[in-house]
Amino acid sequence: MNNVNQIFYKFLFMSIGLSLLILSPKIVYPQDVKIQKQLIEFSQKSLAEYIKNVITDKNFANYGFKSLKETEVARLGDPYPVMVIGLKALKAYKSETGAKPLLMDAKTFWFPVMVEGVTRTKIEIIEKDGKWIAGEFGGVRTVKEIEIVKKQLPELLESKEVKAPYKIMLIKIPALYAEFLYIESSQGEFLIPAMVQPQRFKLQNGQMYSADEVLSKLREFAKEIDENKVM
C-alpha cells in the first residue's frame, strides 16, 4: 500500500512540476528570444538600407550625423517598445486609475542610432500584418530629449526607490506632441517627460512624476483640443 502511495505521490508531484513548467511564462522565453533576434536582425538591416539608400553628402546633417563617414560606424542602441495614448482616452481619464488602461500597443520598437556611444537619430521598427517593416528614420531633437532622460534614469529610479524588476517603455501622446519614458514597477507607475517644450504642460523633462499626476494634468489640456484639428 505504501508503495502504491509513493508511486501516486511521485506521479502527482511530477505532473504538477510538468504543468508548472508548461504554464510558466519562462517556457515562452525561447520563442521571445527568437522574435527578438529576428527583430534585431531586421532592424540592423533596415538601418543599413536607410544609410545606404537615403543618406548623402548633402543631407547627413539633417539626420544628426556630423559627417558622412560617421554613418559607416552607426549602430543601434537598446530599443524601447512604444505605447500610444489617444486624445479621446486622455480626455476621459479618471483620476487615480493610472496609465495602464489608456495604453495602446503601437507594435513598434524605437531604436536610438548611435555613433561611438552617442545618439545621433532614431529608427522605428513596426510590426504590421505579422511582418516587421521599417518606420521613421530621422528626427534629431526629440531623440536628444529622450537620450538626456535615459542617462538620468538610474538616479531617478533610485530617488523614488524603484527596485527591479520594472518595465520601461516609450509613451507617445501624438495629439499633444508629448513623449515620456514610462516605468511600471511594484512601487507604482511613473512618467518622465522627454519631449520638446515640456513647459507647454507645466512639466519638466527629467522629473519623475506619478503617472496619475501627469495624466490628470494633461487631461485638462486635452479637453481644449478639437479632435478634427491638426497641430
Size of the site for other proteins (CB under 8 A): 46
Query: What mask, x for binding other proteins by CB under 8 A, covers residues 99 to 118?
Result: -----x-xxx----------
Determine, following the binding rule CB under 8 A, whether residue 77 of this chain makes contact with other proteins: no
User: Distance between CA 102 and CA 157 in Å, rounded?
Assistant: 23
Smaller CB distance to other proteins: residue 114 or 171?
A: 171
Q: Determine which residue in the list 77, 86, 160, 187 makes contact with other proteins, applying CB under 8 A.
A: 86
Contacts of 55 (CB under 8 A, 6+ apart): 63, 65, 68, 71
Residue 135 within binding range of other proteins, rule CB under 8 A: yes
Binding-site member from 47, 74, 76, 82 for other proteins (CB under 8 A): 82
- According to the binding rule CB under 8 A, does residue 139 interact with other proteins? yes
Q: How far apart are the first and last CA of the chain?
A: 79
Cβ–Cβ < 8 Å for 194, 201 = no
Place of cell 495604453: 103
Query: How many whole angstroms separate alpha carbon 231 and alpha carbon 211?
Result: 24
Stretch that binds other proteins, among 31-39, 58-66, 155-163, 212-220 (CB under 8 A): 58-66
CB within 8 A of 14, min separation 6: which ones?
A: none
Contact 173, 90 (CB under 8 A): yes
Min separation Cβ 217 and other proteins, Å: 15
Residue (82 or 157) nearer to other proteins, CB: 82
Task: Taking the CA atoms of 73, 193, 170 and 141 in sequence, report the sign of the dihedral they define.
Answer: negative
User: Is residue 172 a contact residue for other proteins (CB under 8 A)?
Assistant: yes
> Which positions lie near other proteins, rule CB under 8 A?
49-50, 53-54, 59, 62-63, 82, 84, 86-89, 104, 106-108, 124, 126, 128, 133-142, 172, 174-175, 177, 196-197, 199-200, 224-231
